[in-house]
Amino acid sequence: MLTILDADPVANVFVASRVRAVGLNPARLGGQMWGFGPRGAMTSLCYAGANLVPVNAGSEAVQAFADRARRQGRRCSSIVGQATAVEGLWERLEPYWGPARAIRWAQPVMAIAAPSPVPPDPLVRQVRPDEFGTLLPACVAMFTEEVGISPDLGDGGALYRSRVAELIRIGRSYARIEDGQVVFKAEVGAVTPQACQIQGVWVHPDRRGQGYAAPGMAAVVAMTLRNFAPTVTLYVNDFNQPARAAYRRAGFVEVDTFMSVLF
């Protein structure tokens, strides 16, 4: 299974990080792992948890995963992964699961494997546990802006707050904080020996367009290359031109395309 995941460590960083961290027990994994391939030779996977994430899924695997997902019923809040596979899944599942709340048809996957050419912002640093209350509103604002709904819905935000706190505790939350206000922030959401994935990048609305994003990302890249993995990756909506431009300035290059279906 790790052989399949490691064949594309950038595209598969989320699923690979989960498997490496907790194994395949569904209770710990937070979902099931489906496999597909000829007898005795698994070639494709699909993580079926809060997200439905196909891995190395060609047309036959997509059909098999869609059939199983349809029989099981929708339990996920999104389908996300490489665009061709996700589009195939959604084409087969939309008659049963639709309509989606939002579809992000093209999300460039970007990566960097060397220090940024931009001087890093020296004020971007790891967030301390006692700064949870300062960081949380910025995280909620980012999530709401990015996903289109508040993370406080459903369980009142308990699970989201727990995840924010966990990332701070394990040293994977970074920010520039001035006078008790978050100016820039980003988190490392997934880590494997080959790659780590940045998520939650956000600049305070009052500071946008003032040059904080690229140096902030350069700082995060420097720290994550040093502490976590030799390749840093992220994915971004194709219509978010300011973010894409900032990532390019920071040295990221586009290497793949994801698609997300949000419910």
User: Residue 227 pLDDT more than 90?
Assistant: yes
* 170 within a domain of the structure (yes/no): yes
Same-domain check for residues 80 and 160: no
- 81, 119, 137, 215, 244 from 241: Cα distances, Å: 21, 22, 24, 17, 5
Phi-psi region at 148: left, alpha or beta (left = phi > 0; alpha = psi -120 to 50): left
- The whole-angstrom separation of Cα 94 and Cα 196 is 31
Same-domain check for residues 148 and 237: yes
pLDDT digits (tens, 9 = 90+) for 35-87: 999 888 899 999 999 999 999 999 999 999 999 999 999 999 999 999 999 99
Instruction: Give, as one character, the DSSP assignment of residue 192.
Output: -
Same-domain check for residues 82 and 141: no
Same-domain check for residues 129 and 95: no
- The whole-angstrom separation of Cα 199 and Cα 32 is 23
Across 91-117, average pLDDT = 97
Same-domain check for residues 71 and 191: no
Same-domain check for residues 82 and 185: no
* 260 within a domain of the structure (yes/no): no
* 193 within a domain of the structure (yes/no): yes
- The whole-angstrom separation of Cα 196 and Cα 222 is 12
With cut-offs at 50, 70 and 90, classify the pLDDT of residue 230: very high
With cut-offs at 50, 70 and 90, classify the pLDDT of residue 232: very high
Across 85-95, average pLDDT = 98
Q: Say what percent of the chain tops pLDDT 90.
A: 95
Of 81, 99, 117, which residue constitutes the final position of a domain?
99
- 44, 55, 60, 127, 135 from 7: Cα distances, Å: 11, 10, 19, 33, 35
- What's the domain count of the chain? 2
pLDDT digits (tens, 9 = 90+) for 12-28: 999 999 999 999 999 99
Same-domain check for residues 64 and 182: no
Closest CA to 217 of 254, 178, 186: 186
Under 8 Å between Cβ of 15 and 26: no
- The whole-angstrom separation of Cα 6 and Cα 24 is 16
* 104 within a domain of the structure (yes/no): no
* 261 within a domain of the structure (yes/no): no
Q: What angle do CA 108, 212, 171 make, to 5 degrees?
A: 75
The answer, as to whether pTM is greater than 0.85, is yes
pLDDT of residue 27: 92
- The whole-angstrom separation of Cα 258 and Cα 18 is 19
Name the residue range of residue 22's domain: 2-99
Of 65, 99, 133, which residue constitutes the final position of a domain?
99
Sequence-separated (6 or more) residues with CB below 8 Å from residue 226: none
* 200 within a domain of the structure (yes/no): yes
pLDDT of residue 98: 85
Same-domain check for residues 62 and 144: no
User: Residue 108 pLDDT more than 90?
Assistant: yes
pLDDT of residue 157: 87
pLDDT of residue 152: 87
Under 8 Å between Cβ of 53 and 70: no
Same-domain check for residues 85 and 135: no
pLDDT digits (tens, 9 = 90+) for 177-191: 999 999 999 999 999
Same-domain check for residues 140 and 248: yes
Same-domain check for residues 146 and 223: yes
pLDDT of residue 156: 86
